[in-house]
Amino acid sequence: MSDPKPSVDANGGTAQKVVHDRRPLPVIFGCSGTSLTSEERRFFSAADPFGFILFQRNCETPDQVRWLIKELRQTVGRDDAPVLIDQEGGRVVRLQPPYWPKQPAARVFGSMYERDPEWGAEATERYARLVADELLWLGINVNCAPVLDLFIEGASSAIGDRAISAKPGVVAALARLWAETFLAHGILPVIKHMPGHGRIRSDPHLVLPVIDATRAILESEDFIPFELLKDLPIGMNSHAVFTALDPSLPVSLSSTVQEDIIRELIGFDGLLFSDDLAMKALEGEPGDLAKRALGAGADVVLYCTGKLAEMKPIAEALEPMSAEAWGRWEYAKSMVKMPVGSYNPQEDNARLDVLLGGLAYTS
């Protein structure tokens, strides 16, 4: 771990240095607002979570976000503590106008690629580079994208145009370009939602989805993008029951699916996040859910509400991150290449405007 930095007190001064002599807790927490409360500072410093995730409630202006991220990292004394965001494009963006540009959905790039692979690939790369540059400047080092779920007609709009394509090969090709562009420009991508839940017919934020597709269909279609990108450093599982894989438990609580399918069949050996345990797809007390999710195979769990009353029992229930999980994190960091030289986003913005015909990355 890096040397601890002084934490910031409520008045902007420095408080006592944070010193942790063990691996952090295997959990990503959210926070409540645009700056940390004194109680949040004390809690995060004592709990030492692995990292943090930002939502729209946390993102007001660029300078405010940069300061919040510094505050968060100072509480745990790790300059490289992961700070996550969901900046997929389209409906799922946490950085929004007027300070950040409006972004096209992933399906826009998939549709373009299906019409003209060369133009679709160029647009995807330029877009991913622009996103990476913005996130890196803010201090964010992990983006929970790209989505590798398939676009399935008649499925829940919870995925919809977040999916690149209905074709596994197109999803894999563009997601590979997306992810490798992120890595080349300082950002860790997270492929999601393993092992592929584009077929959900209900929103896991509200209710537990059940997928009845046969294993043969899943293996020949839904799993393919994940198999082709299994070498990437971080993945996220899903809150969906696959009746052909484990009819009694969602993926996030199923050791059968995570061990036999994600780890063995798909062959993914990277750091595995749970999807947000606060989603209504799951029922149970937060601390117990976190223990069950880790016991089922996740390396790190996400709990994103930013509510201290819900985070505290998780911190009390968990043991430090395993050596195996910490090793996966160290490997993930080794895959990131920090950009060298200056970058001028104007060229990418202008070209992307042409490629997308007015749907571009513009505010």
Domains of the chain (ranges; CATH) run: 49-309 (3.20.20.300)
Answer whether residue 359 shows pLDDT above 60: no
**Which band of pLDDT confidence, cut at 50, 70 and 90, is reported for residue 351?**
very high
**Which band of pLDDT confidence, cut at 50, 70 and 90, is reported for residue 340?**
confident
**Which band of pLDDT confidence, cut at 50, 70 and 90, is reported for residue 18?**
low
CB 198 within 8 A of CB 167: no
The neighbouring-strand residues paired with 14 are 8
Answer whether residue 8 shows pLDDT above 70: no
User: Given the DSSP bridges, would you call strands 210-211 and 241-242 parallel, antiparallel or unpaired?
Assistant: parallel
Q: Which of 32, 28, 25 is nearest to 305 (CA)?
A: 32
Q: Which of 228, 227, 256 is nearest to 244 (CA)?
A: 256
E strands present in 121-226: 142-143, 188-189, 191-194, 210-211
- 3-state DSSP helix/strand/coil % of the chain, to nearest 5: 40, 15, 45
CB 89 within 8 A of CB 160: no
Active site residue 48: no
CB 5 within 8 A of CB 77: yes
For the chain, give the mean pLDDT. 93
Active site residue 205: yes
Region 195-219: mean pLDDT is 96
Answer whether residue 136 shows pLDDT above 80: yes
Condensed to tens digits (0 to 9), the pLDDT of residues 273-286 reads 999 999 999 999 99
Answer whether residue 3 shows pLDDT above 90: no
Rounded (10°) angle between helices 286-296 and 308-317:
50
Least confident range from 1-5, 34-38, 230-234, 296-300: namely 1-5
Rounded (10°) angle between helices 106-115 and 117-138:
150
pLDDT of residue 339: 86
Region 125-139: mean pLDDT is 97
Catalytic hit among 116, 205, 212, 288: 205
Answer whether residue 2 shows pLDDT above 90: no
Higher confidence at residue 344 or residue 293? Answer: 293
**Which band of pLDDT confidence, cut at 50, 70 and 90, is reported for residue 238?**
very high
Catalytic hit among 48, 275, 276, 348: 275
**Which band of pLDDT confidence, cut at 50, 70 and 90, is reported for residue 13?**
very low
pLDDT of residue 358: 54
pLDDT of residue 341: 82
Region 288-317: mean pLDDT is 98
Answer whether residue 19 shows pLDDT above 90: no
Instruction: Identify residue 62 by its one-letter amino acid code.
Output: P
Higher confidence at residue 194 or residue 3? Answer: 194
Region 175-201: mean pLDDT is 97
Least confident range from 233-242, 271-280, 292-301, 332-341: namely 332-341
